């Protein structure tokens, strides 16, 4: 099933040759935009990485490294981040990177308040947000509200992710090697077609005039559909039919991609990851009734 290869970078990767990165098969990059709030700083390589990645057609997201220890400081961090990314377009989320030990000492309730304050401020300005944290933090330092409201960028350097909740991006290694980058680099995979989400909903700097036309009828995650000899595809864009299916299925995530929806054969599989394990395939909207 569909996934997308990515990396995340900051000044520590030096001057990147983005043409080589693109040719190495990298589809997206999460770029550090900034860190801090009251004394916030822009990553010195942010502008270069943004412009060069865009120029060669690598999809771009951004992340802000958190130092906030109160919700009020988190709002200031969000405002600073917004000032850095203003006027740019992002195909991937704006993420809040929470991993500083001073924040960890605050405990679950306060950490969740800090994350919520940052994310709400970013969202109010028309951006799609995500929270970046490692497996231990995600299992121990966030309330249920955070998982219900925000996308997750999971950091777990392992052969397979073991996090039991939905997440959109998995940071799988900190020791990747990619042509065009002279240092080691973090490797990521994404499981959502984020560019379509941003353009469809007019988020992250994309205006309504750039939105994908909406289908006549929308389908929501978990909605039951009855199919009869429906063509099944392995991705949103392939022309090759992999099978035909009949019977009762469920809409996997409700994201409309190039005329198709993901389906799954069990209600309990809706929005579960990894996608390859729980999604049956893509069907055309016209076959859903």
DSSP 108-155: HHHHHHHHHHHHHHHHHTT--EEEEEEHHHHHHS--HHHHHHSEEEEE
* Residue whose token pair is 């991705």: 235
Dmax (CA) of the chain: 60
**Packing angle of the helix pair 108-124, 71-85 (nearest 10 deg):** 30
- Distance (Å, whole) CA 256 – CA 284: 10
**From residue 237, how far is each of 60, 113, 281, 284 by CA, in Å?**
21, 40, 12, 11
Give the SS3 label for residue 167: coil
What pLDDT sits at residue 259?
A: 80
* Residue whose token pair is 């800090």: 114
What pLDDT sits at residue 202?
A: 92
- Distance (Å, whole) CA 179 – CA 185: 11
- Distance (Å, whole) CA 116 – CA 150: 9
What pLDDT sits at residue 120?
A: 97
Specify whether the backbone of 281 is left (phi greater than 0), alpha (psi in -120 to 50) or beta. Answer: left
What is residue 166's DSSP assignment? -
Positions in the chain short of pLDDT 70 = 1, 38, 208-217, 237, 258
- All domains in the chain, ordered by first residue: 4-210 (3.20.20.80), 224-288 (2.30.30)
Inter-residue contact 190 to 275 (CB < 8 Å): no
The structure tokens listed for 213 are 């036309």
What pLDDT sits at residue 112?
A: 97
Inter-residue contact 288 to 238 (CB < 8 Å): no
Give the global pTM: 0.74
Inter-residue contact 119 to 68 (CB < 8 Å): no
Inter-residue contact 131 to 155 (CB < 8 Å): no
CA 204, 5, 168, 111 torsion-angle sign: negative
What pLDDT sits at residue 1?
A: 46
At 150-170, the pLDDT tens digits run: 999 999 999 999 999 999 999
């Amino acid at each position: 099933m569909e996934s997308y290869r990515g990396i995340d970078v900051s000044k520590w990767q030096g001057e990147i040759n983005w043409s080589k990165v693109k040719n190495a098969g990298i589809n997206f990059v999460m770029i550090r935009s900034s860190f801090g709030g009251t004394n916030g700083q822009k990553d010195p390589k942010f502008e270069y990485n943004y412009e060069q990645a865009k120029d060669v057609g690598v999809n771009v997201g951004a992340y802000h490294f958190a130092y906030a220890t109160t919700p009020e400081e988190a709002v200031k961090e969000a405002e600073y981040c917004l000032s850095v990314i203003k006027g740019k377009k992002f195909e991937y989320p704006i993420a809040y990177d929470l991993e500083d030990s001073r924040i960890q000492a605050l405990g679950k309730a306060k950490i969740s308040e800090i994350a919520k304050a940052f994310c709400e401020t970013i969202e109010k300005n028309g951006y799609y947000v995500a929270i970046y944290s490692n497996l231990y933090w995600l299992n121990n330092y966030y309330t249920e509200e955070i998982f219900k409201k925000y996308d997750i960028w999971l950091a777990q350097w392992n052969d397979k992710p073991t996090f039991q909740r939905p997440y959109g991006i998995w940071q799988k290694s900190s020791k990747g090697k990619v042509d065009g980058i002279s240092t080691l680099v973090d490797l990521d995979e994404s499981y959502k077609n984020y560019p379509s989400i941003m353009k469809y909903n007019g988020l992250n700097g994309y205006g309504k005039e750039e939105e994908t036309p909406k289908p006549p009828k929308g389908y929501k995650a978990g909605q039951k559909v009855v199919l009869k000899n429906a063509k099944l595809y392995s991705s949103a864009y392939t022309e090759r039919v992999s099978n035909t299916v009949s019977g009762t299925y469920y809409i996997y995530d409700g994201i409309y991609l190039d005329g198709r929806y993901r389906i799954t054969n069990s209600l309990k599989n809706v929005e579960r990851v990894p996608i390859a394990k729980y999604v049956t395939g893509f069907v055309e909207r016209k076959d859903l009734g």
